[in-house]
Amino acid sequence: FAGKNLITDPMVVTWQTRFVRYMVCRFKNHPAIAAWDLGNECNCLQGGLSRDEANVWASHISSAIKIEDTTHPIVSGMHSMLPNGVWTQEDQSEFLDILCTPPYPIFTPHCETDPINEMKTILHSTAETVMYESLGGIPAFIEEAGTLGPMISDERIAGDYVRAALFSAWAHDLKGFLWWCANEQIDLEHTPYDWNAVERELGLFHADKTKKPVLEEMTKFTNFVDNFEFGTLPRRLTDAVCILTEKQDVWAAAYGSFILAKQAGFDITYAWHLDEIPESPVYLIPATTGDSSVRRHVMLELVERVKKGAKLYISVNDSLLSPFDSITGVKVLTRSRRVKDAIVNLDGSEFRFNSDFKLKLESIGATVIATDDEGNHTFTRYKLGEGEVYFC
């Protein structure tokens, strides 16, 4: 297969299909088999693909599995999918039974800004997997998590991290949590362990087979869940739907909204702006970007829900929204590119924001909640029917 496209070349896909069918047929009745995975992070095998090419490959491999085995579920196994990417949660859900995430902070944008044992990092695996489940419409679990060894955190702190991450995943209805990986490989002399430090010291067991604190905590958690006096948790309650849009940094918007919602004391789920938006008392459209960030029919549908009592929050970076004035109760006098950060005064406290553009706004019915250091309105509230629209 050298020199060939591993996802689109017909000969390669033909032999992949034959290999998958034989392997599934050979092992499908083995008691160790719980599910089939398309393959670990196969979306990292080949760049320069179209979304349709990725779909054809996933369809071939999943169909090959189902020809031989209809009893075991199929897991996606892909790395960092996005609804506006080549490999998407929506597409994978068409062929598969379960979505899964490999949420390593070191490999995921916006995540390695805090230590492993602080809130933002602890909630990473939950936030990403909740996003997958919301956008895909099928169950999801954390397929591959870990600290990647002692250069990231102390063993005891890694134990603290996994305990918090496990309880978070459990509380959010996620279906599993796997640690990468079982055993230390520090003594292996062959490649790639001679070349690459990342895979050497991340096991649940030390090289001498003694348990690490992470494994002790996973065992304690398993015992807790098995003996939980109420059996299972009820379905998680959510207070708001976060609507993700086309041209923004989708993961930044999703992750940031998840963390900020937790800090504000409410829980969110997600929707893609081109899909059906679930009913909710609160809708968030954060960090909109571009000239087509929110479709007209989506905005008008949300406006009707606001008029009946819902609350809608919209924040913009450089997006052009239409309609705008009639929804927000403010109108734009001028728009210009920012040359310095905005310093915003909110309830007596100052916050510094870095955005691309500055809007000079005039209220046409909205209440001004916050202004910047130049006196411009930066955060407003507008009564619309029985509900409210917040604009930032």
For residue 221, what pLDDT is reported?
98
For residue 290, what pLDDT is reported?
83
User: What's the CA dihedral at 325, 330, 335, 341 to 10 degrees?
Assistant: -140
For residues 54-67, average pLDDT: 97
For residue 317, what pLDDT is reported?
86
- Beta strands (DSSP E) in 30-175 are 36-37, 74-75, 99-101, 140-145
Long-range contacts of 252-255 (CB under 8 A, 24+ apart): 252/109, 252/110, 252/287, 253/286, 253/287, 254/127, 254/128, 254/131, 255/110, 255/111, 255/124, 255/127, 255/128
Neighbours of 90 (CB within 10 A): 14
For residues 261-270, average pLDDT: 97
377-384/367-372 β-pairing: antiparallel
pLDDT digits (tens, 9 = 90+) for 350-378: 999 888 899 999 999 999 999 998 899 99
For residues 105-115, average pLDDT: 92
Neighbours of 383 (CB within 10 A): 13
For residues 84-92, average pLDDT: 96
Give, as one character, the DSSP assignment of residue 234: P
For residue 352, what pLDDT is reported?
92
Give, as one character, the DSSP assignment of residue 114: S
Confidence band, pLDDT 50/70/90 cuts, at residue 92: very high
For residue 348, what pLDDT is reported?
87
For residue 37, what pLDDT is reported?
95
Rounded to 5 degrees, what angle do the CA atoms 114, 117, 122 make?
80
Specify the 3-state DSSP secondary structure of 212.
coil
**What is the overall mean pLDDT for the chain?**
95
In the predicted model, is pLDDT for residue 292 greater than 90? no
Report whether 357 contacts 336 (CB < 8 A). yes
For residues 8-23, average pLDDT: 97
In the predicted model, is pLDDT for residue 161 greater than 90? yes
pLDDT digits (tens, 9 = 90+) for 119-128: 999 999 999 9
Give, as one character, the DSSP assignment of residue 246: T
In the predicted model, is pLDDT for residue 293 greater than 80? no
For residue 199, what pLDDT is reported?
83
Give, as one character, the DSSP assignment of residue 42: G
Percent of the chain with pLDDT over 90: 89
For residue 138, what pLDDT is reported?
96
In the predicted model, is pLDDT for residue 389 greater than 80? yes
Strand-by-strand arrangement of the 311-316 sheet: 268-272, 240-244, 282-288, 311-316, 387-391, 377-384, 367-372, 342-346, 349-353
Write the CB contacts of 67 (distance below 8 Å, at least 6 apart in sequence). Answer: 21
Residue located via tokens 């693909």: 49
Whether a cis peptide bond, with omega within 30° of 0, leads into 181 is: yes
